[in-house]
Amino acid sequence: MTEARGKLRGVIALDGPSGTGKTTVSRGLAVRLDAAYLDTGAMYRAATLAVLRAGLDPAGPAASAVAAEADIRVGTDPSASTVTLRGEDVAAEIRSGPVTDAVSVVSAHADVRARLVALQRRIIDDVLAGQVGGIVVEGRDIGTVVAPDAALKVYLTASAEVRAARRNQQDRAAGRGGDLAATLSAVRRRDSLDSGRALSPLRAAPDAVTVDTTDLDVEDVLDLVFALADQRGLVAEVVRSSR
Ligand code: DC
């Protein structure tokens, strides 16, 4: 097998529901492309953690205000992603069950989205203006709202069953255990909340390339997205080596 590396100029937007391999593909791609990486889901998760720590109902107006004002910072190094809330490292806690259960509700608030989208755009602009010059951004509304001018938009999908099985495996590997039927119903619930919300619902941008990852492994998806970026002239200094 041949692995290609290079240097990204511009923005690659990767959207789709959870369990499609989005995070692994986005980070791997950023490493191969010597680019920055932004996990926007981690920002909504950190906002949700702020709400839960304040003991608020995630659906209420007080939650919306707390989440919108939370001091959230995220790093953009794909090899060492960091997320802090008021200066505290919360990278592990934002993956906990209570945060995962509440995040779709918190992320549907208009002021939370407005604040985090503004923050995401600022981070992207800073990277594009700086030395690194390229960024892979993952989320639900990157191609449609956050970076509608992204040079490449990819929308990853997979069957709900395969996504639940992947999530279950990740949870077990992280020592969180989990029952497959419960994971499948949680995946379906989150899909319906994320796709059905009024503001920036999860959907492919009209100009996105849709990739169904049901029968693909993550390295195949990475190769495919790298090739798309290369075809669009976004990659400089391409080097191919066998792996
Ligand atoms: O990618 P993830 O599973 O960590 O995302 C967590 C939640 O955050 C997801 O259920 C919906 C929300 N989200 C969003 O609304 N918009 C984004 N750009 C990213 C995530």
Ligand 1 atom having least distance to the Cα of 108: 15
How far is it, in rounded angstroms, from Cα 144 to Cα 150? 9
Question: Which of 40, 156, 200 for mutating ligand 1's site (highest number of atoms within 8 Å of CB)?
Answer: 40
Say what percent of the chain tops pLDDT 90. 79
Q: Amino acid letter at 88?
A: E
What is the CB < 6 Å shell around ligand 1?
18, 40-41, 44-45, 103-104, 107, 139-141, 190, 194
- Give the pLDDT band (50/70/90) at residue 150: very high
pLDDT, tens digit, for every residue of 1-42?
678 898 999 999 999 998 899 999 999 999 999 999 999 999
pLDDT tens sequence across 153-174 = 999 999 999 999 988 888 888 8
> Which residues, other chains included, contact 197 with Cβ-Cβ below 8 Å and sequence gap of 6+?
104, 108
C-alpha 108/C-alpha 53 separation (Å) is 19
Looking at the whole model, is its pTM more than 0.75? yes
| For ligand 1, atom 2: residue with the closest CA | 41
The protein residue with its alpha carbon nearest to ligand 1, atom 16, reads: 140
Spell out the domains of the chain, with CATH numbers in brackets: 2-159+205-242 (3.40.50.300)
Residue 99: DSSP 8-state: H
- Write down the H helix ranges in the chain: 22-32, 40-53, 61-69, 97-106, 110-129, 160-173, 180-196, 218-231
